[in-house]
Chains A and B, each alone.
Chain A
Amino acid sequence: MPMTPEQRATLEDVTQFIYREARLQDDHEYDAWESLWTDDGVYWVPANGDGGDPEQVMSIIYDNRSRIALRIRQFHTGKRFSQTPRSRLRRLVSNIEVLREEGDEILVTANAMVCESQTRGDFNWASRNEYLLRRGADGLRMARKTVVLVNNSTAMYSMAFLI
């Protein structure tokens, strides 16, 4: 079925938002990235496949909004050694699909590929990302971001940059 003009407009908004988020992460623009979150934002990077219930089992990251802020403040100390020097990063985000739009909330899925260069070496990280975006007076914000890394079931090297 062809997309309606409204659907096209939503996809365009969502795509631009996700590209901006990717650029802010790659450039370590921590505060600008933090401002993309809603006040009830949840940042989840599950371990062991799709991760199960993050309230019950370990996740690589399961940050509520205050823990997202703590993560950012830690970067700003200049003593977050796993990111001092910072990883050099570039990521591609693709396969963006709007799965559902309900009221002011939009559920989106995308694939991401991140190239990282660090003291340890050069690494590729691939993931399926899911965003719950919310429309507000000043545009879209993230209420939830889930990053399901393809290698999250096996032993992983440190990944202290923003994924």
Chain B
Amino acid sequence: MNDCATVIPIVPVSPAPNPPAWDRLIQSDHVHGSLYTDPAIYQAELAAIWFRTWVYVGHESEVPNANDYIMKSIGPEPVIMTRTKDGVIHLLHNRCPHRGNRVCVTEHGNARSFTCPYHGWTFANDGALKGYPFPSGYEGADRSKLGLGRVPRVQSYRGFVFGSMAAEGPTLEEHLGGAMKSIDALCETSPEGEVQITAGFLKHKVKSNWKFLVENETDGYHPSFVHASIFEVAQSGIGTLYSSDSTAVSRDFGNGHTENDLRPEFRKRDVPMSWFGTTAEKMPEYTASMKAAYGEEKARKIMIDGTPHIMIFPNLFIAEIQIFVLQPLSVNETVQHVTALQFKGAPDLNRRLRQQTMGSVGPAGFLLADDAEMYERTQLGVQSLNPEYLYLGRGRHRERRDEDGFRIGDATDETPSRGIWRHYRAMMEAA
């Protein structure tokens, strides 16, 4: 559709000179301001988190056909997600092994191979070197070692494709843990059980450290204030979900995954599609498809519960009607790639999802422009180290365990932030 230079960050990767004292920087309800501003800590995070753990890359529906490809990223590093003719999805580093040039500069398309424009080396879409011009100059070279770099582990869950740059480590299922149920619930919003990512992405950049975004995604304390303006003029019911009286809970799934579970409020309302600010009667086609797919009772339950609000560490935020993919570019620069969720077999719901998403998010969005403002001002704020620490103690006294053993707090509590930092510290210490 378009040829465009995507963000090209400069990424010097080197270990932090002296391992920081993580136990001093990250305490049970305090975190040090330098965690958001220190370039050495950012470099350490690339090695310990972004280039190690499972990072969300893209969705299978973005490369539906054999030989489709799309440019994606793992942290600041560009990768190409391809589908070979056998249907397998590959994640390739967009870097020619010869001189380092980009082999792909077109956002998405269909190609069996990629040719580097610099010296004409050609690679199959599984990364293997197919050939180079004037091959007599390479007598004795081992072609099998001159392919594109491959992300060593690629795995999907319900169509969501993750990559890990570590050859060994926990499986994707082990990493996702309790978050898998939320993805299952998300998929059930489709009468065919499938999410599709087909509406293109907005790319919204902020001058802020990536962790401010991760924490904000499941911070149930801020909406009543940051988003008061739109709640007020749109007569939105979202504000009450994040009030002090809300029966919604915040949850820490472990492994850095956190959510705002709004189902208790929706179940109290007991109105199908209330989660989406509408009624079943206003969406007759969707309601009929859901009943046909799941039966009256289960369809009603799915349509009452709504979709999850979950931050899958470190970069996939499923926000009821849209997904955000977070991409750090540097210690103080982050891009949010955002698009509407689309559900297979639900055209009338999908149209409204696109419209609501466009209103809410992106550089001019009714919600996200204001979130972005907070990200940038906090980033400016933490450059001052008096006081040195941020305080994450909200709701600590009432934190409890749910029936599955996960930590939960009230809707506006900082249980998610504490969970994110607990996991972060474990990953940084393990590095």
Task: Verify A158–B357 contact, CB threshold 8 A.
Answer: no
Task: Verify A74–B199 contact, CB threshold 8 A.
Answer: no
Asked if A137 is at the interface of the complex by the 8 Å CB criterion, the answer is no
Asked if B366 is at the interface of the complex by the 8 Å CB criterion, the answer is yes
Task: Verify B369–A155 contact, CB threshold 8 A.
Answer: no
Give complex CA distance A160, B206 in Å.
Answer: 13
Q: Which residues of A contact B369 (CB under 8 A)?
A: 80, 82, 158-160
Query: Which one of B2-10, B139-147, B172-180 contacts A?
Result: B2-10
Asked if B95 is at the interface of the complex by the 8 Å CB criterion, the answer is no
Task: Verify B2–A62 contact, CB threshold 8 A.
Answer: no
Give complex CA distance A153, B339 in Å.
Answer: 14
Chain A window 76-100, contacts with chain B (Cβ cutoff 8 Å), 1 for yes, 0 for no: 0111111000000000000000000
Task: Verify B366–A71 contact, CB threshold 8 A.
Answer: yes
Chain B window 371-384, contacts with chain A (Cβ cutoff 8 Å), 1 for yes, 0 for no: 01110110010000
Task: Verify A155–B204 contact, CB threshold 8 A.
Answer: yes
Query: Which one of B40-48, B80-88, B160-168, B229-237 contacts A?
Result: B229-237
Q: How many residue pairs bridge A and B at CB < 8 Å?
A: 123
Q: Which residues of A contact B357 (CB under 8 A)?
A: 58
Decide yes or no: A47 and B7 within 8 Å by CB, A81-B370, A81-B374, A155-B335 being known contacts.
no
Task: Verify A154–B358 contact, CB threshold 8 A.
Answer: no
Task: Verify B4–A154 contact, CB threshold 8 A.
Answer: yes
Q: Which residues of B contact A157 (CB under 8 A)?
A: 204-207, 363, 372
| Interface size in chain A (residues, C-beta < 8 A) | 37
Give the residue name and chain of the B residue nearest to A61 (CB): B364
Q: Which residues from chain A sit less than 8 Å from chain B, CB to CB?
A: 45, 47-50, 52, 55-63, 67, 70-71, 73-74, 77-82, 119-120, 153-160, 163
Q: Which residues from chain B sit less than 8 Å from chain A, CB to CB?
A: 1-2, 4-7, 107, 199-207, 226, 228-230, 232-234, 335, 338-340, 351, 354-355, 357-359, 362-364, 366, 368-370, 372-374, 376-377, 380
Q: Known pairs A70-B366, A77-B228. 10 more at Cβ < 8 A?
A: A50-B2, A58-B200, A58-B362, A78-B229, A80-B369, A81-B229, A81-B374, A155-B205, A159-B369, A160-B363
